[in-house]
Amino acid sequence: MSKDFNIQITRTTCPKAKPDEANLGFGRIFTDHMFLMDYTTENGWHNARIEPYHALAMDPASMVFHYAQECFEGLKAYRRPDGKVQLFRPMKNIERMNRTNRRLCIPELDADDALKAIQTLVKLEEDFVPSLDGTSLYIRPFIIATEPHLGVKPADSYLFCIILSPVGAYYKEGLNPVKIFVEDEYVRAVKGGIGYAKAGANYVASLAAQVKAHELGYSQVLWLDGVEHKYVDEVGAMNIFFVLEGEVVTPELVGSILPGVTRDSCINLLRSFGYTVNERRISIDEIIAAHENGKLLEVFGTGTAAVISPVGELNAHGKKMTIGTGEIGTLSQKLYDTLTGIQWGKLEDTFNWTVGIDA
Ligand SMILES: *Cc1c(COP(=O)(O)O)cnc(C)c1O
């Protein structure tokens, strides 16, 4: 930790009523406070503070508005059966945020300070961590370039902010399988680009395809590689796994894919279950062939928001493939139960993945 890292806390004088846990939805309700910290070239990161949640006043010339110099993260705090609150692998998110920062020319954070910021804010807002099944407190750290300047260059001032949102299940359908459209016109990212960075800019690149998929009756897009439109990359905000006969496969991290914390956790869990997991290039043609030969057993997406999202149908080049019976597969269910069991403190944390909120 930097030696003079100190968080100034200003408490709200008008706390909000706690939301109805049965109708949280995703990312529309925010807690009473937010964390803020400034960066300037002269002073580095400084002025760490927690304030009542409020709108930001910004210069319209702030560089983030014009050239999208912005990064974000997403992780969750979970309410354990004993009432305590815990985080899941938060250092993985902080390390990833710093990898994103390096790619986007945003100054890196001190990792221990960032963890302390998350813990201190979550601790202050502990009563907002819901306890109904499947609910959690979503944590959204982000950094924006604030320098008012229309020239294109890395900004010399930034704001690091953390907001919190109590959330229910990500998909309205719950654990029901989703229908996914394999996108072969638009691309999301290319090697050498920013695909591996958690940058808002990646999401704006994906919107047109998402709108198209929705119009066709699909809830998500499966991206193919940006050069040949042949190899599987990932789903909208999830990594993708295919359960084949004798092997579970997921695309290797080649720079165009977001290295998900849930992806890494699933690889570890699958190996601990005794499965062979290969991170490799997977062509969509291989998946189509495996489906035709009855060797495509299960498909699922992984991400913090939805945890495990079983895929019931894939539409590749107009060819509709029902995965298994179209219901959640046994391995997807086992992974979901194990991972959520650890996250919510219902199963023993044999991997030492959970972290408390006492800074
Ligand atoms: C955040 C994200 C994921 C999932 O990452 P987790 O760390 O598992 O939440 C996957 N793909 C994209 C594009 C993402 O932004």
Cβ–Cβ under 8 Å, residues 139 and 77: yes
In this predicted structure, what is the pLDDT of residue 236? 87
Mind giving me the DSSP string for 41-106?
A: TTTEEEEEEEEE--PPP--TTBHHHHH--EEE--EEEEE-TTS-EEEESHHHHHHHHHHHHHHHTP
Task: Kindly state whether residues 235 and 315 are assigned to the same domain.
Answer: yes
Q: Look at residue 99 and tell me if it is in a domain.
A: yes
In this predicted structure, what is the pLDDT of residue 174? 57
Cβ–Cβ under 8 Å, residues 155 and 139: no
Cβ–Cβ under 8 Å, residues 129 and 79: yes
Distance CA 183, CA 147 (A): 37
Q: Look at residue 246 and tell me if it is in a domain.
A: yes
In this predicted structure, what is the pLDDT of residue 1? 67
Distance CA 85, CA 356 (A): 7
Q: State the distance from the centre of ligand 1 to the C-alpha of 151, rounded, in angstroms.
A: 31
Q: Which domain holds residue 286?
A: 178-343
| pLDDT tens, position by position, 144-153 | 999 999 999 9
Task: Kindly state whether residues 160 and 271 are assigned to the same domain.
Answer: no
Q: Look at residue 162 and tell me if it is in a domain.
A: yes
Q: State the distance from the centre of ligand 1 to the C-alpha of 148, rounded, in angstroms.
A: 30
The amino acid present at 257, given as its one-letter code, is: I
Task: Kindly state whether residues 313 and 243 are assigned to the same domain.
Answer: yes
Q: Look at residue 250 and tell me if it is in a domain.
A: yes
Atom 2 of ligand 1: nearest residue by CA position: 237
Based on the number of CB atoms within 10 Å of its own CB, is 12 exposed (0-12), middle (13-18) or buried (19 or more)? middle
Task: Kindly state whether residues 50 and 188 are assigned to the same domain.
Answer: no
Distance CA 195, CA 191 (A): 7
Q: Look at residue 354 and tell me if it is in a domain.
A: no
Distance CA 102, CA 110 (A): 13
Ligand 1 first shell, C-beta below 6 A: 74, 198, 234, 237-239, 258, 260-263, 302-304
In this predicted structure, what is the pLDDT of residue 197? 98
Number of domains in the chain: 2
Q: Look at residue 103 and tell me if it is in a domain.
A: yes
Distance CA 183, CA 187 (A): 8
Q: Any residues with CB less than 8 A from the CB of 293 and at least 6 apart, and which?
A: none
List, run by run, the mean pLDDT of 10-residue segments along the chain (359 residues).
Answer: 87 96 94 98 97 98 98 98 98 98 98 98 98 95 98 98 92 76 94 96 95 96 96 96 97 96 98 98 97 97 94 95 92 96 97 96
Task: Kindly state whether residues 154 and 216 are assigned to the same domain.
Answer: no
Antiparallel, parallel or unpaired: β 8-9 and 44-52: parallel
Beta strand spans in the chain (E): 8-9, 33-40, 44-52, 70-72, 75-79, 85-88, 136-145, 157-167, 178-183, 220-224, 232-235, 239-244, 247-251, 277-280, 296-303, 307-316, 319-322, 354-356
In this predicted structure, what is the pLDDT of residue 175? 79
Closest-lying ligand 1 atom to the alpha carbon of residue 92:
7
Closest-lying ligand 1 atom to the alpha carbon of residue 302:
8
Distance CA 214, CA 18 (A): 33
Which of 141, 169, 197 is the C-terminal boundary of a domain? 169
Task: Kindly state whether residues 154 and 212 are assigned to the same domain.
Answer: no
Distance CA 354, CA 273 (A): 20
How many Å from the N-terminal Cα to the C-terminal Cα in the chain?
A: 11
CATH of the domain at 163: 3.30.470.10
Mutate to test the pocket of ligand 1, among 136, 167, 207, 258 (most ligand atoms within 8 A of CB): 258
Mutate to test the pocket of ligand 1, among 97, 167, 304 (most ligand atoms within 8 A of CB): 304
DSSP 337: H
Task: Kindly state whether residues 158 and 194 are assigned to the same domain.
Answer: no
In this predicted structure, what is the pLDDT of residue 2? 75
Task: Kindly state whether residues 123 and 97 are assigned to the same domain.
Answer: yes
Antiparallel, parallel or unpaired: β 307-316 and 319-322: antiparallel
Task: Kindly state whether residues 246 and 329 are assigned to the same domain.
Answer: yes
Task: Kindly state whether residues 39 and 157 are assigned to the same domain.
Answer: yes
Task: Kindly state whether residues 336 and 195 are assigned to the same domain.
Answer: yes
Q: Look at residue 351 and tell me if it is in a domain.
A: no
CATH of the domain at 306: 3.20.10.10
How many CB atoms sit inside 10 A of residue 44's CB?
11
Task: Kindly state whether residues 151 and 295 are assigned to the same domain.
Answer: no
Residue showing tokens 């539409």? 315
